[in-house]
Amino acid sequence: MLPRQTRAACAAVVATGALVLTGLSGQAGAEAAGSTAAQARTPAPSAARTLHTADTSAAVLNAMQRDLGIGRQQAEHRLANEAEAGATAGRLRAALGAHYAGAWVHGADSGALSVATTDAADAAAIRAQGAEAVVVRHSLAALDAAKARLDRAATHRNTLDTPVWYVDVRTDTLVVQAVRPAAARELLSAAGVDRSLAKVVKSAEHPRPLYDLRGGDAYYINGNTRCSIGFPVTRGTQQGFASAGHCGQAGSTTTGANQVAQGTFQASVFPGNDMSWVATNSSWTATPYVNQNGQNLQVTGSTVATVGASVCRSGSTTGWHCGTVQQLNTSVTYQEGTVSGVTRTSVCAEPGDSGGSFVSGSQAQGVTSGGSGDCTSGGTTFFQPVNPILSNYGLTLKTADDGPGPGPGDPGGTWAAGTVYQPGDTVTYGGATYRCLQGHQAQPGWEPPNVPALWSRA
């Protein structure tokens, strides 16, 4: 933990960026599917590309070039190709059903997509969509179920010696990172997880929440602890922002970077998850921007990036750094306990970077939770996905200065702006039924017929 005891101390930390790691933290840091899959349609390139490339700033592209070792044109192509790959993966997930075993992108700028299935009969349909087919033993549902058993077992055990576990779709295994491999085997046994599903990897990592991160602007909790705004949000007419749960507890008061009274934590969860939101007073106005070292990046949505996709992080200690999404739905144990449902990335971070914004192109991904390593030698960073924060607290991500109005007329149906949809969810709109392809929060202008990258006719 790195609580700041006085405002003077806070100012000193802001000036020097000097923080101590206790873990990167402040408070711690069937029917043969071939015929079915063939029905999946590839979206028009422009529809998919728009989600991740619209309004992508020069700062994001520059950081991608620096950290991924690619040129500017490669960075632009990569974002566009990854957006298309995400839509294709969503369609194939819906088509393959229980056979689906995950998807990932690879290649510096090609956006090549691999899709795994447990049924070799699906291979032709996968290749027909332009993806590489990989036949594996375990479905994603089976691996996710095994991980859920680990999550439940971890609530009754000390898992500091097995701090990270995740489903690795590339290797079709449930990976448990352990300081002591024997501890990982004990956890798997306690959870009743078949060892054929799991792989134990010895690791010296000791992750911890990243405290004092600045994704947007710094703010202070109870006058003596600094953290960072994740993403501005609204809840009805109330304005505020989402951040990490370890930044403060419900009822804690906040002041802005200018030391002006700002707001109050309405809800906070940590450990278990690492999420919170602050309602601000009338002196503060939510904007759709993330601070990029003095420049504004406009956030245009919250479409979830695919495993292997590029992602960038903003923090007050180390600025902008980029990497790739390693695994979704990861669990990590900090000193305070286990946090589940976070995303594991290859982005580096350091103390003082906690709570800040993760983005892919112009799409909000999450708020920095914790990690290990640093931005000199490299590291691993976890972020709490933003969509669960929005869904759990009934928040709407701020994506425009003045939200676009709905299309002409009201076609009726169950689709609703502001709702967080997950892959596989179905809605009706204009008399038709649609299936969600990629997780996102719906917003005006993103009605199902308008965004084939997010919805397909069911």
Tens-digit pLDDT profile for residues 314-334: 877 788 889 999 999 999 999
pLDDT recorded at residue 50: 54
Intrachain domains 33-130 and 140-202 with the same fold = yes
- Answer whether residue 153 shows pLDDT above 90: yes
The rounded distance, in Å, linking the Cα atoms of 445 and 98 is 32
- Answer whether residue 28 shows pLDDT above 90: no
Mean pLDDT, range 424-433, rounded to an integer = 96
Residue 286 or residue 213, greater confidence: 286
The rounded distance, in Å, linking the Cα atoms of 87 and 325 is 16
The rounded distance, in Å, linking the Cα atoms of 279 and 238 is 7
pTM: 0.76
CA-CA distances (angstroms) from residue 150 to 147, 167, 369, 437? 5, 11, 20, 27
Residue among 99, 246, 321, 440 flagged as catalytic: 246
Q: Which CATH class is domain 33-130?
A: alpha beta
pLDDT recorded at residue 200: 97
Lowest mean pLDDT among 96-110, 270-284, 435-449: 96-110
Mean pLDDT, range 277-305, rounded to an integer = 88
pLDDT recorded at residue 251: 97
Q: Which CATH class is domain 140-202?
A: alpha beta
The rounded distance, in Å, linking the Cα atoms of 109 and 112 is 8
The length of the chain is 458
- If phi > 0 it is left, if psi is from -120 to 50 it is alpha, else beta; for residue 428 that is beta
User: Does the active-site annotation cover 156?
Assistant: no
Residue among 109, 274, 302, 369 flagged as catalytic: 274
User: Does the active-site annotation cover 425?
Assistant: no
Given the candidates 3.90.1170.40, 2.10.10.20, 2.40.110.20, 2.60.40.10, the CATH classification of the domain at 420-457 is 2.10.10.20
Rounded mean pLDDT of the chain? 84
The rounded distance, in Å, linking the Cα atoms of 208 and 287 is 30
Q: Torsion angle, CA of 256/259/263/265, rounded to 10 degrees?
A: 70
Mean pLDDT, range 351-360, rounded to an integer = 86
User: Does the active-site annotation cover 106?
Assistant: no
Assign 18 a pLDDT band (cuts: 50, 70, 90): very low
Mean pLDDT, range 287-314, rounded to an integer = 89
pLDDT recorded at residue 5: 29
The rounded distance, in Å, linking the Cα atoms of 56 and 76 is 9
Lowest mean pLDDT among 29-43, 78-92, 229-243: 29-43
The first and second tokens of residue 113, run together, are 């997509």
Assign 250 a pLDDT band (cuts: 50, 70, 90): very high
**Of the candidates 194, 165, 167, the residue with the CA atom closest to the CA atom of residue 181:** 165
CA-CA distances (angstroms) from residue 108 to 68, 82, 102, 347, 420? 8, 11, 20, 16, 31
Domain boundaries, the chain: 1-29+207-401, 33-130, 140-202, 420-457
pLDDT recorded at residue 412: 79
Residue among 331, 354, 360, 369 flagged as catalytic: 354
pLDDT recorded at residue 386: 98
Mean pLDDT, range 412-433, rounded to an integer = 95
Assign 170 a pLDDT band (cuts: 50, 70, 90): very high
The rounded distance, in Å, linking the Cα atoms of 96 and 75 is 31
- The Cβ of residue 72 has, within 10 Å, a number of other Cβ atoms equal to 12
pLDDT recorded at residue 369: 94
Q: Tell me the sheet residues that pair with 344.
A: 327, 382
The DSSP output letter for 402 is S
Cis previous bond, 271, omega within 30: yes
- CATH topology (fold) of 1-29+207-401: Thrombin, subunit H (2.40.10)
- Answer whether residue 216 shows pLDDT above 80: no
The first and second tokens of residue 8, run together, are 């003077």
Mean pLDDT, range 377-396, rounded to an integer = 96
